[in-house]
Amino acid sequence: MPEKNILIADDDESIQRLFVEILKDEGYRIFLASDGKEAIEIVRKNPIDLAILDIRMPEMDGIEALKQIKAMDETIEVLIMTGYADLGSLKEILFDYGARDYLPKPFDLNELKFAVKRALRKREFVLKSPPDKAEAEDRILELERDYKRKTLQLRESQIKYRDIVENSIDAIVIIQDGYLKFANRKAVELSGYSKEEILRMPFERMIHPDDAVEVTERYTHRINGKDIPTISTFRVVRKDGSFFWIETNAVITLWEEKPAILNILRDISQRLADEEAMVRSEKLASLGQLSAGLAHELRNPLAVISSCSQFCLENMKLEQLVRENFQVIYRNSQRASRLISELLAFARPGRFEREEVDVNELVSRMLQMAELEAEPFGITIVRRLNDRIPKIVGDKEKLGQLFLNLIQNAIQAVPKKGKIVLESRVLAQGEVLEVSIVDDGPGIPEDCRSRVFDPFFTTKDGGTGLGLSICHTIVEQHQGSINIECGEETGTRVSVRLPVGQQE
């Protein structure tokens, strides 16, 4: 059998190399072109059997090249490939311009090989048929029309299916042999990786370490045919190291004639956050009512205890042991009074005063108030405040309470000669202001991180557990967010994000 000459025209060198790699063992002679004009010149100078043309190329596109190739020799078979599947031009390419097939990228390699062999067989059959036999010509035309109708239906289905998959609001991936074999646009967007990076890595690398064993076991059981629930939830790690919760519907399928797992993934992080916020809001509302009632009932007896112990300390001659006990009573009554004040602040946040706030100035002022606590321990405080951040509209007193509390928490968290960094910057094209307090302390134990904003939860000796709850409430009143991140071994970053626009 004579050697077959195949022309590959695509301006992407990686596609050219792919075709050479796929077809090199089939005994074909390969010609490469980077645009339509170069492809036409190759056809003029060489006996081409099959041309594989990309639609979008510089100088001359694939459709124009197809027309000119068919004008020179209508027996040359042409396959059109494109990464921009277009149903509008599909019928014209197949029926009016004479292309043999239309291959949307990315294509299945086995299907591509089959399309090449099928096109070459068609050309060989046409060239061998005697031109004076009308019956043979009619039969060829009939087969050609039938083939093209079926091809049109197939390609239309492929394009519609691909559009549905690529434009899905859910991530869609296929896993085979432990690797991702396919990922749609949403999967790429959520992961932060490029498509090329995703398709080169084991899927386990993208699973949160705490969930990896369970997810891998489910994958193994499912691929081995065991009956397990199709729906599950776990955390996926982005390229930048952050993670999000997903709900997946996983079923077994075939990919390139081998078993694989089709996963439809939905990001449920916001849904979980909304559920948690609702539960927290209900808990806080109930707790607020209880706190207000308790505070009212406790203040009177505490006032009596505090006043009496203070009177005795100031006006009576007491033995040393008795005096020390009165001092303990007085100190603890004062501590209880402060706790009640915090309870009332938590239960009744008070009126929201709206005024223009210079956040840098406010943070600096709160830092001056807190620095006296840091000096005895040799703690270094570094300011990295962006002097170009805009002012915001908010409650200056409450925001001051917020930043003072966070700075004091950082001072209490770091060891002697530790370091605290205060940063401010603008995010989201100037729409969000972020203030971060970063310390090099021991961090927050992982089992405590989800509870740090819960009322009365504290890891400090003598702490009330209301400071961060009040901070959270203040941030919510300003329609902002507060986030705590901890390093693997040490360090904590508390970030407060506030909208620059005026809150209603």
Q: Give the DSSP letter string of 67-126.
A: HHHHHH-TTSEEEEEESS--HHHHHIIIIIS--SEEEESSPPHHHHHHHHHHHHHHHHHH
For tokens 């449920």, the residue is 268
Distance CA 286, CA 308 (A): 34
- How far is the CA of 476 from the CAs of 171, 202, 497, in angstroms? 31, 40, 10
The pLDDT score that the predictor gives to residue 293 is: 63
In contact, 435 and 359? CB cutoff 8 Å: yes
Determine the Cα–Cα distance for residues 110 and 113; give it in Å rounded to an integer.
5
The DSSP annotation for 272-322 comes to HHHHHHHHHHHHHHHHHHHHHHHHHHHHHHHHHHHHHHHHHHHHS---HHH
> d(Cα 388, Cα 424) in Å, to the nearest integer?
10
Contact between 318 and 287 (Cβ < 8 Å) = no
**Residue 75: both structure tokens together:** 């027996």
Using alpha carbons, select from 266, 275, 215 the residue that is nearest to residue 244. 266
HSE value, Cβ hemisphere, 13 Å, CA-based, for 451: 10
Q: How far apart are CA 112 and CA 114, in angstroms?
A: 5
Q: How far is CA 169 from CA 165, 187, 188, 261, 477, in A?
A: 9, 10, 12, 19, 32
The answer to whether 10 and 81 are in contact (CB under 8 A) is yes
Q: Report residue 181 as tokens.
A: 């074999």
Helix, strand, coil abundance in the chain, percent, nearest 5: 50, 20, 25
Residue 57: count of CB within 10 angstroms of its CB: 23
Dihedral through CA 394, CA 395, CA 397, CA 401, nearest 10?
-70
Give the whole-angstrom CA distance, residue 389 versus residue 36: 53
pLDDT of residue 145: 63
| CA proximity to 227, closest of 236, 218, 214 | 218
Q: Residue 504: its pLDDT value, please?
A: 47
Q: What number of other Cβ atoms are within 10 A of residue 241's Cβ?
A: 8
H or E element, residue 258: strand 258-267
Residue 31 bridge partners (DSSP): 7
How far is it, in rounded angstroms, from Cα 323 to Cα 90?
Answer: 97
Does the pTM surpass 0.85? The reply is no
Q: Going by DSSP bridges, is the β-strand pair 355-357/392-394 parallel, antiparallel, or unpaired?
A: antiparallel
Lateral strand order in the sheet of 432-439: 380-385, 419-427, 432-439, 492-499, 481-486
What pLDDT is recorded for position 252?
82
Q: How many CB atoms lie within 10 A of CB 148?
A: 17
**Helical spans, DSSP H, in 167-260:** 185-191, 195-198, 209-223
- Residue 31's pLDDT is what? 94
Residues of the chain predicted below pLDDT 70: 1-2, 83-91, 105-108, 129-164, 256-257, 272-274, 276-297, 338-351, 428, 447-467, 487-489, 501-504
